[in-house]
Amino acid sequence: MKIVITGGPCSGKTTLIRYLERQGYKVLHEVPRQIIREYKQKGIDHSQKRNEFQFNVLKRTIERNKKIKDGEIVFLDVDIPEGIAYFKANGEEPPNWLLKAAKEHAKYHKVILLEQIPFHRKDDIRIEDAKTALKISKIIEELYNELGYEVHKIPFMHVKKRAEIIKKICNIK
């Protein structure tokens, strides 16, 4: 069972994924954050190379997802459609190869959208302001709906409560 945990920047995705991992669930961590760090180490601004960056994210995300075995429960810290959302949030048309990949490779049992936390923190990777983060979150929700998924929205609350709600939605213990 593939369960994608999604939401805009600063919605608590990584905190929730780490919590679920400590609870013994298999998780696959966010690819974009890893690649952004690699770009930064090389002195490259990923936002100036959006197509190249998203292609690298897509390639690694597909490789990451190949590790999922049939029948296992896996939580994904974001996936392919989020790349499309970032193009749209910047007023850019996403490339056709990314749209095609989302339709072909984005296959989930459940989509969990975490609503934004009431305060916003920037860090070395998360550079969006609160208004942009909310815009991205709305675009992500629309994208998953367009791809035919029921999006389960989880409001901001303690990570343990969020995890309990998700387990009920996914019918897992």
CATH classification of the domain holding 156: 3.40.50.300
pLDDT at 161: 98
pLDDT at 34: 86
Ramachandran quadrant class, 12 (left: phi over 0; alpha: psi -120 to 50; beta: rest): left
Amino acid at 67: K
**Average pLDDT along the chain:** 89
For residue 39, pLDDT over 60 is answered with yes
Residue 101 to residue 65: CA distance in whole angstroms = 13
- Ranges of H-type helices in 71-148: 81-89, 96-105, 130-146
Written as six digits, the tokens of 76 are 């994904």
Domain that holds residue 61: 2-170
Cβ-based neighbour number of residue 140 at 10 Å: 25
For residue 70, pLDDT over 90 is answered with no
Q: Indicate the pTM of the whole model.
A: 0.88
Q: How many domains does the chain have?
A: 1
pLDDT at 122: 57
Q: Which of 85-89, 91-95, 129-133, 163-167 has the highest mean pLDDT?
A: 163-167
